[in-house]
Amino acid sequence: MLIMRQVVFVVRILVVGEILKNIIFGDCKNFPHIFYMITIKQFNLKDVDYILHWFSNTKNREFQRTKTIDKDKALRLISSDKNKTVYGIYLDDALIGYAMLKYFYVKVEIGINIDEPFWGHGYGFEAMKLLEEKAKEKKYYKIEVLVNEHNERALKLYKKLGYKDTDLKILEKEL
């Protein structure tokens, strides 16, 4: 019995040691959901190719109003100004999505888009928390999120974060 406990203890130490080695030396690929970090950084115009790539994936565009995009539209999309800030969402150093904060008089509107291969891992949740912090830093006290009513994954995320349905319907017209 004593030998069995010693073996289990040694195995546990080896496993913990392997995890720590991976953390220290930066090889966390075996533990992606535990050790990778989500960050947001303001988009740079050189990131336009990422937006073109993002829109080339039909699953990414499923709930978007914009279905096609050229380089000029992509540049306008990622250009920040006094009314909006556009961020890249990074998983460590890899760009995995983008988000936008649009500023209004007393509220901010958040839009978030994660690249399809990264759906379902909690990265959108982490990115939303960071975006909410950015809104707080800018002294906004109300946040709105526009979401397609058929995007069940996004609706679940926003409800988990405490967002409430307002029963508003948006109507639009192309000019």
Q: Residue 48's closest CA among 81, 28, 82, 76?
A: 76
Q: Residue 94's closest CA among 60, 52, 123?
A: 123
Helix ranges (DSSP H) in 38-122: 48-56, 58-61, 71-78
Q: Which contacts of 149-157 are long-range, i.e. CB under 8 A and separated by 24 or more positions? A: 150/63, 151/62, 151/63, 153/119, 153/120, 154/63, 154/124, 157/124, 157/125, 157/128
Give the pLDDT score at 49. 85
| β-pair type (108-114, 143-145) | parallel
Q: Indicate the pTM of the whole model.
A: 0.72
Which residue type sits at 133?
E
pLDDT in tens, 117-170: 999 999 999 999 999 999 999 899 899 998 888 889 999 999 999 999 887 777
pLDDT in tens, 34-84: 567 899 999 888 888 888 887 787 777 776 766 677 888 888 888 888 899
Give the pLDDT score at 133. 94
Q: What angle do CA 69, 72, 78 make, to 5 degrees?
A: 80
Q: What's the CA gap between 69 and 144, in Å, rounded? A: 25
Determine the average pLDDT of the residues in 17-21: 50
* Least confidently predicted of 22-26, 90-94, 137-141: 22-26
Residue extents of the structural domains in the chain? 1-33, 36-160
Give the pLDDT score at 110. 92
Candidate CATH numbers 3.40.630.30, 1.10.600.10, 1.20.1250.30, 3.20.20.150; the one for domain 36-160: 3.40.630.30
Q: What's the CA gap between 94 and 128, in Å, rounded? A: 17
